[in-house]
Structure 1
Amino acid sequence: MIYPSARSVVLTALGAPAALVIGVMMPQIWYVGLVWVVLLVMLTALDAISAKPPSSLKLELEAPPVTGVGAPFIATVHARFVRKDGSVSPRGAPRGVEIAAALGDRLDPSGSRRAFVPMVGGQAAFDMELTPNRRGPAEIASIWARWQGPLGLAWAQKHDQTQYEIAVTPDISPIYDEGVQLFLRDAAFGLIAQIERGEGNEFEALTEFQTGMDKRAIDWKQSARHLELLAKEYRTERNNHIVFALDAGRTMCEPIDGVPRIDRAITGALLTAYVALKAGDRASLFAFAGRPMLASPTVSGAKGFATIQRAAGAVDYGAEESNYTLALTSLSNQLHRRSLIVVFTDFADPTSAELMLRATGRMLQTHLVLFVIMRDAELADIAQGRPEDPADVSRAVAASALLRERAIVVARLRRMGAHVLEAPHDQIGTRLVDRYVTLKRRSLL
């Protein structure tokens, strides 16, 4: 496609007053006023002919086929002028090209999606930093490139419909970056490397009491019989069942720092599941919104992590309110032994929180329940910020009321016997692993 540039239009418009004056003052030679316009049209046509033709420009997009939600990546558009044999043709190439891209709704650019890129040897490259904001197929639909002729009076444009699709999956980079480190860190304290012996409930053997051991482990009868101080060693339990219950309702699908809460929760759940499977425990995934959405099989061993990962990728975004009663009751009916149930959720109104409390009370009779709640820094900033106008005061009052209601619900959960972890979204994974290890150390699983 070839069309006039802004420079050509402005220069043509500047000739209009001169043509008007000639037509009024010397009507017998009125046609002289059109010379400027005709000259510019001819120069524009000449400029378009002199420019590199659109057919000689080749556009290529380089981007990863798979990426994690919330993980920035670079998509590079390569533009080069080529001959018929495919070799680069720098002769007559413009000084630079303007490149733009059409992005799908699941991709957020960190900068502009259009830029002027200088050409070197007939080639140019435009790097775009993109961040996926939701799981699913993300698309870079089209790429445009345009360049001017030598006089700058005409644009030549190339449009390439790439339809490049990127699969956005749960972000598992923390598993590889932090999972192994957390695993090795806990191993240093004897919680994983010495899994057979440690703090547990199953009696393992008698050993000589040493300084630093728990005095409650002393077996006084056996010590009197053998005339030496003996203590009991216990076997740290393995094969515990960890269930990660993900609330995928409307509230959890709202973004926090640009990424939906449910995706933040999935990342934390996958990190903890990786450590739990490495520690010899079993894990499964359960998702719900208005009704139960997904229940993965229970897996064990490091090889089972792929099953958990695939199940997490299949968790869809819900638009309805979460039904805690139906979801937690269905989950309880599926469990036939005491389990640790990690519930990732958020509550926005007292009614839904009350239903959640009732359903939790029934689960606590059999299972150990841990609620994971993301701290809302934006809501806290609104409540504590200095108001500038009456609207800010109203927002601060509403935010304070929501924070107060959340604190009341958290306190009631703790009084009922449930464990609650409230942390910033970027610390959910590591804090949850720490809490899991603490519960394991205290033999509460």
Structure 2
Amino acid sequence: MVHFIKNIYLTNRFFISLASVCVFFVLGYFYPVIGAIAEILLLALSVCLVTDALLLFYPGPGVDATRNLPKRLSNGDPNAISINLQHYYPFEVGFTIIDELPFQFQKRDHNFNDSLAPKKQTKISYKLTPTQRGSYTFGALNIYITSPLELIERRYRFDEEQEVPVYPSFIQMRQFELYAISDRLQDVGIKKIRRIGHTMEFDQIREYVRGDDVRSINWKATARAGDLMVNQYRDERSQQVYSVIDTGRVMKMPFDGLQLLDYAINSSLAISNIALTKHDKAGLITFGDKGCNIVPAQKKRAHLQKIQKALYNVDTDFKESDFNRLLTFMHNRISQRSLILLYTNFQTIESMKRKLPVLQQLASKHLLVNIFFINTELDDLLQSTPKSEEEIYIKTVAEKFNYEKKSIVKMLNQRGIQTILSRPQDLSINTINKYLELKARGFI
């Protein structure tokens, strides 16, 4: 009985019908004939209500539903989720699905309404875009079923407490990997870099094809084969590529729901995958105010799982990162010259100058690429036309910040430090562009 009461809900149609009967009873106080009609309507409503309950609670399975979740969700990407609904009633039913989403999404009205033919099934799909890494817990899947009378609803509950982790953007990583394998990276904005000279690693001798560099012709092989033959070179392999992520307060700034730290993490995963695809070694370093953590660079494909797990737990706080500690750590742990992709953020020239001695020492031992962000919130201000003194002041400050960002790039480049100044949403593409450029020019 308790189970019956907990799963039965009166619909709006029932309350409208009951209100109409009440109106007839009120009128029946003045007109006895209408009062008799009201009694008949009340009896009919009661019979319909009991009939509706019997229809919905007849013996049998009734409804079966499952929520299909992936083993993990990709942070910052739309993730497909589906609900399979099967009912066994011998009549058409209306249904309302209320899916209890994790609290991180802050959505309490996630529902679907439709009807279903007798003994049929349906599949409902939707997408969720998480903006935080961590564990997400889905609540119950609530199904409310109505018969053609639509006076009451019967509730079914399924899949309570489903937990799924949210990892750094592996969807983005796989997307770039597919383009890299098919040599179509330029289709997603990756620039095709013209090679300057040759790399140092010889690959094979092959027949000359129109357009090949004539300096690559192998005259001895040409004399033996009777056709023009050229030497083919390939990119040097087994170079170390380290993604170094600043977890300090400068990476706390949000953009489109994600923190700058999350953009850096997603980019690190993508570039690590591309580096492994190009037969280089990929590694990871995270640092903050107290210490540094490292995943040593390796060449194995399975190594990507270690990097992904390490990135899953990376978080930031409101403290300033210790760059001197980073310098000492890298000096002790990385002996081979490597490509260092340093993800941080400089808001002013003064903040960059405080860290410049450390950056110069890193650049003297490694190929350092300093990656920081354009403040896209200033774009509208820079393009607007001020109409008051306050707006003039605000635009002037915005132009000052924009100028300082460009000045930082110039100062770093003058000291032999490569830079990437990127919009957060373009970070992965710009980082891969720089990696391929440096590789094509034989810098690594």
TM-score by length of 2: 0.75
**What SS is found at the alignment partner of 2:365?**
coil
Shift of 1:244: 0.8
Shift of 1:58: 1.7
Q: Give the letter aligned to residue 139 of structure 1.
A: T
Q: Mark the runs of 5 or more structure 2 residues left unpaired by the alignment.
A: 1-6, 186-191, 204-211, 217-231
C-alpha contact (below 8 Å) 2:65/2:85 kept by paired residues: yes
Q: Which residue of 2 aligns with 1:53?
A: 57
Shift of 1:46: 2.2
The whole-number CA distance in structure 1 between the counterparts of 2:385 and 2:55 is 58
| Mapped pair 1:325 → 2:331 | no
Alignment partner of 1:10 out of 5, 16, 21: 16
Q: Mark the runs of 5 or more structure 1 residues left unpaired by the alignment.
A: 82-88, 199-209, 215-232
C-alpha contact (below 8 Å) 2:91/2:118 kept by paired residues: no
The whole-number CA distance in structure 2 between the counterparts of 1:347 and 1:353 is 6
Shift of 1:2: 1.2
Q: Give the letter aligned to residue 68 of structure 1.
A: S
Q: Which residue of 1 aligns with 2:428?
A: 429
1:301-316 to structure 2, matched below 5 A, reads 301-314=300-313, 316=314
Percent identical among aligned pairs is: 18
Shift of 1:41: 5.7
Shift of 1:385: 4.0
The whole-number CA distance in structure 1 between the counterparts of 2:118 and 2:162 is 27
C-alpha contact (below 8 Å) 1:52/1:93 kept by paired residues: no
1:219-230 to structure 2, matched below 5 A, reads none
| Mapped pair 1:196 → 2:201 | yes
Q: Which residue of 2 aligns with 1:63?
A: 69
| Deviation digits for residues 371-420 of structure 1 (CA, Å, limit 9, x no counterpart) | 12344434313432467999977765554444333333333322332111
Shift of 1:104: 0.9
C-alpha contact (below 8 Å) 1:282/1:300 kept by paired residues: yes
| Deviation digits for residues 136-188 of structure 1 (CA, Å, limit 9, x no counterpart) | 22222121111223322222222335222222222233444333543674999
C-alpha contact (below 8 Å) 2:193/2:440 kept by paired residues: no
Alignment partner of 1:119 out of 111, 116, 136: 116
**What SS is found at the alignment partner of 1:150?**
coil
Q: Structure 1 residues 376, 112: closer, same or farther in 2, change over 3 A?
A: farther
| Deviation digits for residues 80-123 of structure 1 (CA, Å, limit 9, x no counterpart) | 22xxxxxxx240341x21111111144588x9721112213432
| Mapped pair 1:283 → 2:282 | yes
Shift of 1:42: 1.3
The whole-number CA distance in structure 1 between the counterparts of 2:13 and 2:353 is 67
The whole-number CA distance in structure 2 between the counterparts of 1:42 and 1:20 is 19
The whole-number CA distance in structure 2 between the counterparts of 1:176 and 1:248 is 25
The whole-number CA distance in structure 2 between the counterparts of 1:195 and 1:100 is 62
Q: Structure 1 residues 29, 189: closer, same or farther in 2, change over 3 A?
A: closer
Q: Give the letter aligned to residue 35 of structure 1.
A: E
C-alpha contact (below 8 Å) 1:15/1:36 kept by paired residues: no
1:150-169 to structure 2, matched below 5 A, reads 150-169=148-167
**What SS is found at the alignment partner of 1:70?**
coil
Let me know the Cα RMSD of the aligned residues: 4.1
Alignment partner of 2:46 out of 30, 42, 45: 42
The whole-number CA distance in structure 2 between the counterparts of 1:332 and 1:301 is 22
The whole-number CA distance in structure 2 between the counterparts of 1:101 and 1:369 is 48
Q: Which residue of 2 aligns with 1:76?
A: 82
Q: Which moved more, 1:148-157 or 1:321-330?
A: 321-330
The whole-number CA distance in structure 1 between the counterparts of 2:43 and 2:325 is 76
**What SS is found at the alignment partner of 1:297?**
strand
| Deviation digits for residues 5-26 of structure 1 (CA, Å, limit 9, x no counterpart) | 1122233334445544554x47
C-alpha contact (below 8 Å) 1:66/1:169 kept by paired residues: yes
Q: Which residue of 1 aligns with 2:221?
A: none
Q: Which residue of 1 aligns with 2:177?
A: 179
C-alpha contact (below 8 Å) 1:241/1:282 kept by paired residues: yes
The whole-number CA distance in structure 1 between the counterparts of 2:153 and 2:98 is 15
C-alpha contact (below 8 Å) 1:108/1:131 kept by paired residues: no
Q: Give the letter aligned to residue 412 of structure 1.
A: M
The whole-number CA distance in structure 2 between the counterparts of 1:341 and 1:374 is 17
Q: Which residue of 2 aligns with 1:229?
A: none
C-alpha contact (below 8 Å) 1:283/1:300 kept by paired residues: yes
The whole-number CA distance in structure 2 between the counterparts of 1:62 and 1:234 is 48
The whole-number CA distance in structure 1 between the counterparts of 2:38 and 2:387 is 59
Q: Which residue of 1 aligns with 2:339?
A: 340
Q: Structure 1 residues 234, 158: closer, same or farther in 2, change over 3 A?
A: closer
The whole-number CA distance in structure 1 between the counterparts of 2:239 and 2:85 is 56
Shift of 1:254: 4.0
Q: Which residue of 2 aligns with 1:92?
A: 91
C-alpha contact (below 8 Å) 1:47/1:149 kept by paired residues: no
| Mapped pair 1:142 → 2:140 | yes
Shift of 1:341: 1.4
Alignment partner of 1:132 out of 114, 130, 143: 130
Shift of 1:34: 7.3
Q: Give the letter aligned to residue 73 of structure 1.
A: N
**What SS is found at the alignment partner of 1:91?**
coil
Q: Structure 1 residues 15, 71: closer, same or farther in 2, change over 3 A?
A: same
**What SS is found at the alignment partner of 1:97?**
strand
The whole-number CA distance in structure 1 between the counterparts of 2:22 and 2:392 is 57
The whole-number CA distance in structure 1 between the counterparts of 2:100 and 2:391 is 37
Q: Structure 1 residues 40, 444: closer, same or farther in 2, change over 3 A?
A: same
The whole-number CA distance in structure 2 between the counterparts of 1:418 and 1:190 is 21
| Deviation digits for residues 266-308 of structure 1 (CA, Å, limit 9, x no counterpart) | 3322332233334443332011233335211221344533333
The whole-number CA distance in structure 1 between the counterparts of 2:164 and 2:288 is 27
Q: Structure 1 residues 321, 416: closer, same or farther in 2, change over 3 A?
A: farther
**What SS is found at the alignment partner of 1:346?**
coil
| Deviation digits for residues 193-213 of structure 1 (CA, Å, limit 9, x no counterpart) | 976149xxxxxxxxxxx9765
